């Protein structure tokens, strides 16, 4: 879309307000709005703002930055009463108008440029599987003298909202919710509203369904979409999910483990590379019909897996999901149709044009620009250095490793068990991200500091369950 087309879109839809959105290092969307009459001025000069006020971005003494909108991201916001056009922005230097080193969206753009410069492939295609909970209510708080939370779900008999008496006897217990049918899939139509909005914005959805978690756990999965646009699309999808939930009197959470002892929310990434329209990951006769490039790409991700976790699983809560028994990986290996693997080769994908693998470790607390860029860089490093995963004891293993004897499991490389451990791994292993200039040292240091504060904030507080365990010890 060019400037003239954008202006026509504004005129045809009687747009009153323009909403600019951008992503911070923390993976959250921020926004600033202006009257549509100022559109020409903003397209030419951008919108200046104080970057030092955004977590992890820049020190106060050099905080001036400018938001430059990307016209290709323009879409009508379906939630505001006042007709509003939304645009996704990059955070740029006020003098050069070039994306700053710590702007996550600019990182993804640089990753795309580097990827194409290698000549390995020209198109990177991704499927993010977004898992989340739709809850009827969520109350939480923490201060010096109290801490706790309460979640309610009309789908689970043990967590019914106070005013809900389950008179229709639809609420469930002691069962799994995977592909649960209506009427038990109580919020199917809410999920359908979300998908309809995504489709209207050009985000192609493969399917959606109720997930394993009985307390209204959901999944929405896209078709194969191109990087780096898929990063913008993931932010848009999360925004639609949250706001549609609120419009229906619900609350959505992407927390990896919001409910104890139930299935957690991941965000699996399917990855595929094409060159001149041909899938370079396919090779008939190889393991699972994968090419050597695919295996090297997998090798790079698994070799750098510990440090990657700092970007793909960047919350303290992430590591409450990565536990045995919940179809979440805890070891770095790959295998065919193996749901205990960090990287699974889908057995149902036999078409040469769509042969791919699935990175199962990540979750949606990640910053999609940083997580997908880091995965891409690790994979390219694997191809560049011909990292054979079989020579590093990364598989393939096609059986359930959770059933292995302990001495055998101990030989596998473990996923970090905490956010602190993942951040320490990133500190020690990030050359594959910085040597090409896609990431830089300042970003790594700022990100590490930002996330370490989260680790310390949780680690230094008494846990509510510690009262049960120790108050009268």
- Which residues are registered as beta bridge partners of 272? 125
Catalytic choice (40, 50, 435, 456): 50
Distances (CA, A) of 246 to 195, 240, 369, 393, 432: 15, 10, 26, 46, 41
Known catalytic membership, residue 211: yes
How far is Cα 270 from Cα 306, in angstroms, rounded to an integer? 19
Catalytic choice (293, 358, 363, 381): 358
Known catalytic membership, residue 129: yes
Catalytic choice (112, 131, 232, 381): 131
Known catalytic membership, residue 70: no
CB-side neighbour CA atoms (13 Å) of 278? 7
**Closest by Cα among 422, 391, 163 to 295:** 391
- Pick left, alpha or beta for residue 253 (phi over 0 → left; psi -120 to 50 → alpha; otherwise beta): beta
Known catalytic membership, residue 339: yes
Known catalytic membership, residue 360: yes
Are 111 and 373 within 8 A, CB to CB? Answer: yes
Q: Phi and psi dihedrals of 6, rounded to 5? A: -65, -45
**Closest by Cα among 257, 250, 265 to 152:** 250
Known catalytic membership, residue 44: no
Distances (CA, A) of 112 to 76, 96, 235, 388: 27, 20, 18, 24
Known catalytic membership, residue 21: no
Known catalytic membership, residue 50: yes
**Closest by Cα among 285, 301, 294 to 120:** 294
Known catalytic membership, residue 427: no
For the chain, helix (H) and strand (E) counts, in that order, are: 14, 18
Catalytic choice (242, 360, 381, 430): 360
Catalytic choice (112, 211, 293, 381): 211
Q: Cα-Cα-Cα-Cα dihedral of 312, 314, 316, 318, to 10°?
A: -20
The catalytic residues are 50, 129, 131, 211, 219, 268, 339, 358, 360
């Amino acid at each position: 879309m060019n400037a003239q087309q954008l202006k026509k879109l504004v005129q045809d839809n009687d747009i009153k307000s323009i909403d600019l959105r951008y992503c911070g290092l923390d993976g959250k969307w921020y926004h600033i709005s202006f009257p549509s009459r100022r559109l020409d001025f903003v397209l030419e000069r951008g919108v200046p703002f104080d970057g030092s006020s955004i977590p992890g971005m820049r020190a106060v003494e050099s905080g001036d930055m400018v938001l430059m909108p990307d016209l290709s991201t323009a879409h009508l916001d379906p939630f505001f009463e006042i007709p509003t056009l939304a645009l996704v922005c990059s955070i740029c230097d006020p003098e050069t108008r070039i994306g700053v080193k710590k702007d996550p969206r600019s990182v993804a753009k640089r990753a795309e440029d580097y990827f194409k410069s290698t000549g390995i492939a020209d198109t990177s295609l991704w499927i993010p599987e977004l898992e989340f909970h739709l809850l009827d209510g969520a109350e939480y708080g923490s201060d010096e003298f109290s801490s706790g939370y309460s979640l309610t779900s009309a789908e689970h008999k043990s967590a019914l909202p106070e005013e809900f008496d389950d008179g229709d006897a639809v609420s469930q217990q002691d069962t799994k919710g995977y592909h649960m049918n209506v009427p038990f899939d109580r919020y199917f139509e809410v999920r359908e509203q979300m998908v309809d909005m995504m489709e209207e914005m050009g985000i192609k959805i493969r399917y959606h369904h109720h997930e394993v978690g009985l307390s209204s756990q959901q999944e929405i999965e896209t078709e194969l979409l191109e990087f780096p646009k898929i990063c913008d699309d993931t932010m848009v999808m999360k925004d639609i999910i949250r706001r549609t939930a609120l419009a229906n009197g619900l609350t959505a959470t992407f927390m990896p483990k919001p409910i104890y002892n139930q299935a957690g929310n991941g965000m699996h990434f399917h990855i595929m590379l094409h060159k001149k329209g041909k899938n370079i990951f396919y090779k008939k006769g190889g393991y699972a019909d994968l090419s050597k490039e695919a295996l090297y790409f997998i090798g790079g991700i698994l070799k750098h897996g510990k440090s990657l976790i700092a970007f793909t699983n960047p919350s303290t809560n992430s590591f409450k999901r990565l536990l045995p028994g919940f179809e979440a990986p805890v070891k770095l290996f790959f295998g065919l149709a193996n749901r205990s693997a960090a990287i699974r080769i889908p057995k149902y994908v036999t078409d040469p044009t769509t042969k791919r693998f699935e990175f199962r470790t990540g979750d949606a607390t990640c910053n999609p620009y940083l997580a997908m860029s880091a995965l891409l860089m690790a994979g390219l490093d694997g191809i560049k250095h011909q990292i054979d995963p079989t020579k590093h004891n990364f598989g393939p293993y096609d059986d359930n490793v959770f059933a292995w004897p302990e001495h055998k499991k101990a030989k596998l490389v473990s996923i970090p068990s905490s956010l602190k451990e993942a951040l320490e791994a990133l500190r020690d292993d990030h050359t594959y991200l910085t040597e090409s200039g896609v990431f830089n040292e300042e970003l790594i240091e700022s990100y590490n500091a930002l996330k370490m504060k989260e680790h310390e904030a949780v680690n230094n507080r008494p846990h509510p369950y510690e009262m049960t365990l120790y108050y009268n010890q």
